[in-house]
Chains A and B, each alone.
Chain A
Amino acid sequence: MSLRLRLILPLALLLAGIMIYPLAFSGWISLHDYRLTRIDDVRFEGSGNYEFILSDGSFWNALSNTFVFVGGAVTLELVIGLGLALLLQKLVRFQNVARAILLAPMFITPIAVGLMFRFLLNSELGVIPHYLAALGITVDWFGPDLALFSIILIDVWQWTPFMVLMLLAGLEALPRSPFEAARVDGASAWLTFRKLTLPMLQPVIVVAVIIRALDAFKVFEYVYAITRGGPGDATETIQFLIYKTGFRFFRLGEAASMAFVLVTITLALVVALYMSTRRR
């Protein structure tokens, strides 16, 4: 065995232990009727679990809710984050203080954020509906029409700072000369932003969007702390459905097959997004 292989071997073994083995085991589980309360009676199902979940309305509903959540949250975070990053870049005084305040939400654990907003927006216990009611406005933030949107807003509150951080770093790394040339040529601020800033910032935007989207696909805590997937199944996301199936109903086979379908979809999306930027 060459020296290079021998040096790589410990890392490869470690990775196999902590990543490949659990992945392979969950792959094996996804092909079986594997229930925690019937551990002595595990039956081979073949593609049965996959066939069931793909024909089940709950799975597609959870997937669709997740896509709406990811699309809505990441788009809003990108737009607001970019706006704030541009403003912060121009800020001369109190720059560090403004950044520190802006980044604070990111450091709170998501379950705490979920509980916090549950009590802020709850129609009976919440402060915000109380004051809105004083103004004559009644909004049921967790009603069937608004619940998913409210959860998107919570994610936007917590994770827009991440976008700001990424985009601000990107903006500050841009070369100055093209902007000076544009100013000399009399280009408007909007034209400069559209023709210079955006295209030059694109690689940073793609990376930020991919990282945020991958993270947003894992949304669980807000749903768990606030709506538990309801009303009806209006806020049931795929992670919550996987948790419910696997750890509440103990159907680990079904839950594992859902997780594999989700991984396949997200991988395909990431590759597609990455390839589309490479082609340009």
Chain B
Amino acid sequence: MNRKAKYLLGSFAIGCLLTATASASEAAELNIIIEEVPEYDIVRELSKEFTKAHPDITITFDAMPFDAMRDKILTSSLAPSAVYDVIIVDNPWMQQFARAGYLEELDGRIAESQGYDFEDFIEPIRNVGVVDGKIYGVPYYNYALGLIVRQDIFDEKGLTVPSNLEDYVSVVKELTTDGMAGVAMQPQRGYKIMEEWKNWLYATGGEVTDESGNVTIDSPEAAQALNLYIETYKAAAPEGSLNWGFDEALRAVASGRAATMLSYNWMLPTLNKKDGIAGDLAGKFKLYEVPGGKAVLGAWHWSVTANSEQKDAAWQFVSWITSKQVDKQRVIAGGAPMRTSVVSDPEVWEQGFGEEYYKTVLSILEDAAPLATGNSAEEVIEIVGTELSAAVSEQKSVEDALKDAARRVERAQ
């Protein structure tokens, strides 16, 4: 063996050794808790690409229903070493979890990740992950609300889809006949009624608290929104739907027994899917901004747990799945948009659900605000949602329900 060959062989051996050492030090097993929804199916499929490119990182998804997730995240976060390295965080939990010290601050990692472009995430969604000026979560998917209507009925009756609340109320009343409700509502106590009614509250210019944190849920705007909501329920919602949530309202619209509903923006492709839940009605649904324009924003974020022992690998995965390129693939596959560049990409329009849909989604997302924020967001939702339900079911007057809601929200904060 000549000198050159020996040199090459030696270099190769050292190279192999270094690679092996590097792999050993980078090898990681990531445990990820995730909600079992269609978005998860897309993420799971895409993640195969990640594990192919990073054979040293093993990913285990622990997928479960929403109700079970928060308890598991809590116990994992209270433990000295984490069960989960990556968690998804619903927007009402974000501030509570960040301030409780469960989440890793991501500013430094985001700054070091070349081409990540955090500013590309649509602003209201991006802001949900920012707590006290630091980033604790990067967007995973949104569930902002839009107005879904049966366009064929509107066209047939020569009606324009209303853009303000008063017009919406009168239009759904007009659409109500014996076999058709003008609107399928979700007045179920707690989260559902709060999620729906808060769009009405935005439309009348109200909020639960003002910018200084003072409780304003007993304002005249809130009373107006609640009175209109009750009036609409009585006049245009299906009889006996006082306890309806998402499933029931969706079914009523999909089966042609209701003409409109306020629902998650990504329900439109589901309703319009051929051989989907709407049967022959597929293709007749259209998405608009909620009456009044400003919508309730729901958003899930990816976070790395503060007690994880695999933070580098965890961020590697999170930054990969939320990167521009992968996010584009996720949205084309049917995922809910998060990035301006992706939602404005003609390739996405073409391969996804069309330009008009994505443009509407973008305008919904740009003018949306979270359902509730703060350390007690979950409790605030429950408190207000209970009082709203009491008012709609006539157990309390509108004034008493809002007054009680204000008193309880003040205590919870």
Contacts and interface: CB of A to CB of B under 8 A. Distances in A.
Nearest to B395: A232
Nearest to A249: B379
B190 interface: yes
B260 interface: no
Contacts of B378: 248-249
A34 to B, nearest CB: 13
7 contacts: A124-B252, A229-B189, A230-B188, A231-B187, A232-B391, A232-B396, A249-B378
Nearest to A232: B390
Contact of B390 (A142, A227, A233, A250): A233
A228 interface: yes
Interface in B217-269: 238-244, 247-248, 251-252
Given A123-B248, A144-B395, A229-B189, 9 more contacts: A122-B248, A124-B251, A129-B240, A140-B240, A144-B394, A227-B189, A227-B243, A229-B190, A232-B396
Nearest to A235: B189
Interface stretch (A35-43, A160-168, A194-202): A35-43
Contacts of B207: none
A231 B390 CA distance: 6
A119 B406 CA distance: 35
Task: Give the 5 A-B residue pairs with the shortest CB-CB distance, closest first.
Answer: A230-B189, A232-B390, A140-B240, A123-B240, A124-B248
Nearest to A245: B379
A244 B393 CA distance: 22
Main secondary structure of the interface of A (DSSP, over half): loop
A152 B319 CA distance: 51
B259 to A, nearest CB: 16
B151 interface: no
Contacts of A248: 378-379, 382
A112 B144 CA distance: 32
B238 A142 contact: no
Contacts of B387: 232
Interface string A222-243: 0000011111111000000000
Nearest to B102: A37
B382 A232 contact: no
B376 interface: yes
Given A36-B78, A38-B100, A124-B252, A232 B386 contact: yes
B188 A228 contact: yes
Given A143-B393, A228-B189, A39 B379 contact: no
A231 B240 contact: no
B243 A231 contact: yes
Given A230-B188, A248-B382, A125 B251 contact: yes
Interface in B381-413: 382, 386-387, 389-396, 412
B127 interface: no
A131 interface: no
A234 to B, nearest CB: 7
B71 interface: yes
A247 interface: yes
A7 B395 CA distance: 59
B78 A230 contact: no
Given A144-B394, A231-B189, A123 B389 contact: no
Nearest to B75: A36
Interface in A223-277: 227-234, 244, 247-250
B202 to A, nearest CB: 23
B246 to A, nearest CB: 11
A142 B240 CA distance: 8
Contact of A231 (B99, B251, B376, B392): B392
B375 interface: yes
A250 B189 CA distance: 20
Contacts of B396: 232
A250 B96 CA distance: 11
A275 B189 CA distance: 42
Contact of A234 (B74, B187, B395): B395
A232 B190 CA distance: 9
